[in-house]
Chains A and B, each alone.
Chain A
């Protein structure tokens, strides 16, 4: 119950992490099934229809439900600590964001049990995603599930923007903010601009499918290419929404374990902003073969190549952060070091893809599959593992087992390169993407086999990580404030895990890497910026949970509103939108309750702080 009503950012972070792990596991199982099906030519482990559902759900789950919440978990757990805040700006909304995300994700995955998963690819291109060619409810689950989940992301993004703008500790100017806080800020801004696009797109597609509208149908005067533009004007920034926080994590881990400040901090900030900006300018590079014409292709080619410049700045800054430092090969740092060359490999193939005439060959082949897995798995997932190992003691008060962590790392990274490096060649040898099988003797057999073996090794790596987590939780929570000893940012100045109010006294920030600066000055704690006094805390509430349940019910009701159930009562309930109305009543009722009854929260008194023995 405590977990359902919580509005504490640290607990919400743990909820995000658990939900992310659940969906990451589902997406991972889907991935393994895909690779087993492709292990040998003409395999028939799954039918071609199921295969299409697997690839669609693997992509959708990993992007929207797997890595996104884990990133949000880090943002929630760490960001307020890094900027010296007691919580996010809107704790209630924070909880609402999580619950809408979770119920959206559950709705999407219910499709496996309720008559067919979405099967039109994670990009859901029309007309394939229209009712004419995808006649199960699969794509409805996709549009409505993602709509609800996306709501949560948008709420979260706005919340972080407000938090960073208004709640930084005294002295923490923007140019003193830790890099992870910066990337959270930029990511949130991107969410603010990108998610409305997909929201609109999903509404249009839902209307086409459920209400018989014609936004994307040629016969009705619509245009299917419109969907591609809407999807990618969201979809490309989305890739950067995912990778920028990973950049932020790497920018925290590498300096800590090199005992050096981040090289070229201001150019890092500049590069992050530039990447975000260019990320919005290049969506049509996913559409070179759509037939946009020479001029459009040329412009999008060049703007895409330009992203290499800020990314290059980042890579070299990281390398030169380590230069002259004292590098410790902890598990977290292994992931960060493994990230560097792996991500560069994904980056250079990105530049190759940007060249439109060459992309006519690369597009929709395994070369592209290899490229984006190098970026998303080799970049983002390695970044996530680095972040998990790095911040685990701060989130849970326990250090993960280092030896097991290193074994995990090697399984994962070797498996990863084995899986995806050969896929570059599969693409060049003529294997198109999203094929359920392939004819033998085309020169594709051995490489596919190798790729599947690699995927299994990655699976072993992930299982080892879970074992590590279980082992760790059987130990007492005794991690010190600053377990890595070289922590640089504010989160390391408070106990692990932090008390409910984070900072007993809001710290005064006297420079970049505030905690490091105090340590170098010989201090054992931050200088407070305020006297000891009562701390205002928000009240726990079940309303966010109830609101999300309402939206979930309304979504299900809307989806089945045209169905014939063969049962008079069910037909009555669904076809007259009664289920939708019940769901919306729950949601709006909760909103009304929230508005009508003022809740002023509660206070922690200074004396209580002493009782609680907050380790200061």
Chain B
């Protein structure tokens, strides 16, 4: 009897270990919850592992009892006597009330302790990098109030530093989610002066350099599926280079005529460097971003996609086709000819920021 129990215990351990291994081995590094790249996501995965372990045990017990009952107590041919009508069993019923209660407590304690760690407020912390996230249909604005820099779609962060976020939305509810770095948090509309609605606070850090995919997780309209962004964590020196190059004067098209067109058609909503109007996404250095309009991936090492230029042209020739329901007017409706659109696309594609020290391009 004892031996059989030990045998069962070993199988149980093996099964649990196997399922956990299976789970943690799957998924892309830049995307999967199961493959965390930072302490916050790691903590959340640990909690999930604990929960999965408990639940797998529960499932195995239920499955085992079911299988036993179904095999053992099926009605046999010629069986006519009435089985004993059992009213219940007080002891058994108490057991399956108390055991789940214990399991719940086992899960509740780390839940609460993690919750209070995640709720820690870093917005006044001098050592943390302060970032303001503003969600729009269907793009993300990232500004660094202490550094005086604003960008869109690619969130550049230094490694090994706590990033403290304050998040809100300019229209509907969106949800900010970088699976491999941390869980998600909603962005609520906070009113024009920021005081009426609810802003949310949030933090994570990324120990390793890399690009992580971020998503909008709350239904926000027709292009909800296309509202992605990237988090790029770079070394502290590279981060400083990036901030400096963002603050450098804007580079406008060399052709004076094209520059004038760009000013009158694009800069009424967009900003580059110190010029333009910050209504739409900031375009400074857009050529060195990971993607155009979040879903048209730019080709580079380890990432399939089209060239920045082609993506930019595709977007500018028909923004509604790429992201239905977005607020950008079609450039051709603004009086730009196809040639001018191509020229602006080429200009934007070549507008790159050189901040990566070991960068290939």
Contacts and interface: CB of A to CB of B under 8 A. Distances in A.
Interface of A: 47-49, 52, 119-121, 125, 127-128, 133, 218-219, 221, 223-225, 258-261, 263-267, 289-291, 293-294, 297-298, 301-302, 305-306, 308-309, 312-313, 315-317, 319-320, 322-329, 337, 340-341, 344-345, 348-349, 351-352, 355-361, 363-365, 425, 427-430, 432-439, 441-443, 520
Given A289-B183, A324-B84, A360-B118, A428 B47 contact: no
B324 A128 contact: no
A548 to B, nearest CB: 32
B82 A290 contact: no
Contacts of A428: 23, 26-27, 32-34
Contacts of A298: 111-112, 115-116
Interface in B120-172: 137, 171-172
Given A289-B185, A352-B48, A438 B107 contact: no
A144 B302 CA distance: 52
Contacts of B92: 264, 316, 320
A357 B41 contact: no
A437 B227 CA distance: 11
Interface string B342-359: 000000000000000000
Given A133-B221, A265-B87, A360-B185, A351 B196 contact: no
Contacts of A294: 115-116, 118-119
Nearest to A367: B33
A48 B320 CA distance: 11
Nearest to A348: B55
Contacts of B179: 361, 430
Given A305-B108, A358-B47, A520-B82, A337 B189 contact: no
Nearest to B119: A294
Contact of A326 (B41, B83, B295): B83
Interface string B77-97: 001001111111100110011
A488 to B, nearest CB: 10
Interface of B: 23, 26-28, 31-34, 41, 43-45, 47-48, 51-52, 54-55, 58-59, 62-63, 65-66, 69-70, 73-76, 79, 82-89, 92-93, 96-97, 99-101, 103-104, 107-108, 111-112, 114-116, 118-119, 137, 171-173, 175, 177, 179-180, 182-186, 188-191, 196-198, 200-201, 213, 215-225, 228, 295, 297, 304, 324-325
Given A52-B222, A298-B112, A308-B100, A360 B183 contact: yes
A341 B62 contact: yes
A360 B62 CA distance: 28
A544 B328 CA distance: 52
A356 B111 contact: yes
Contact of A224 (B66, B100, B173, B213): B173
A437 to B, nearest CB: 5
A329 B111 contact: no
Main secondary structure of the interface of B (DSSP, over half): mixed
Nearest to A310: B97
Given A357-B118, A434-B224, A443-B31, A327 B111 contact: no
B101 to A, nearest CB: 6
Nearest to B84: A324
Nearest to B94: A267
A344 B196 CA distance: 43
B111 A355 contact: yes
B224 A435 contact: yes
A133 B33 contact: no
B65 A319 contact: yes
Contacts of B114: 357
Contacts of B48: 352, 355, 358, 361
A287 B196 CA distance: 20
Nearest to B218: A364
Contacts of B216: 432
Interface centre among A52, A360, A429, A441 (most CB of B within 10 A): A360
A443 B26 contact: yes
Contact of A323 (B62, B73, B112, B183): B73
10 contacts: A48-B222, A258-B83, A289-B185, A297-B119, A298-B116, A317-B88, A348-B58, A351-B51, A357-B44, A358-B47
A433 B89 CA distance: 44
B225 A48 contact: yes
Contact of B186 (A119, A289, A316, A317): A289
B188 A128 contact: no
A159 B33 CA distance: 48
A361 B31 contact: no
Contacts of A328: 74-75
B73 A325 contact: yes
A347 B223 CA distance: 33
Contacts of B54: 351
Given A219-B196, A291-B201, A429-B33, 12 more contacts: A49-B324, A128-B173, A259-B82, A261-B87, A289-B186, A294-B116, A298-B112, A313-B96, A320-B92, A364-B177, A432-B216, A435-B224
B157 to A, nearest CB: 19
B73 to A, nearest CB: 5
A351 B55 contact: yes
A313 to B, nearest CB: 6
A289 B69 contact: no
Contacts of A266: 88
B27 A443 contact: yes
A326 B188 contact: no
A436 B186 CA distance: 20
- The 6 closest A-B CB pairs, nearest first, are A360-B183, A294-B119, A435-B225, A264-B88, A348-B55, A326-B75
A298 B20 CA distance: 26
Given A133-B171, A361-B179, A319 B184 contact: no
Contacts of B83: 258-260, 324-326
A289 B184 contact: yes
Contact of B219 (A52, A351, A352): A52
A359 B198 contact: no
A267 B26 CA distance: 42
A64 to B, nearest CB: 18
Nearest to A512: B87
B34 A267 contact: no
Nearest to B222: A48
B96 A439 contact: no
Given A327-B70, A327-B74, A430 B31 contact: yes
Contacts of A223: 197
Contact of B88 (A218, A265, A291, A435): A265
Nearest to B180: A430
B217 A218 contact: no
A357 B103 CA distance: 18
B119 A359 contact: no
A104 to B, nearest CB: 24
A293 B223 CA distance: 29
Contact of A290 (B33, B55, B186, B295): B186
A368 B244 CA distance: 43
Contacts of A290: 186, 188
Contacts of A224: 173, 188-189, 197
Contact of B63 (A289, A341, A441): A341
A291 B108 contact: no
Given A260-B85, A319-B65, A363 B51 contact: no
Contact of A357 (B47, B63, B69, B76): B47
A278 B27 CA distance: 36
Nearest to A438: B225
B225 A430 contact: no
B225 A437 contact: yes
Nearest to A433: B217
B75 A317 contact: no
A133 B172 CA distance: 8
B111 A127 contact: no
A92 B164 CA distance: 61
Contacts of A337: 66, 70
Contacts of B175: 289, 363-364
Contact of B97 (A49, A260, A309, A358): A309
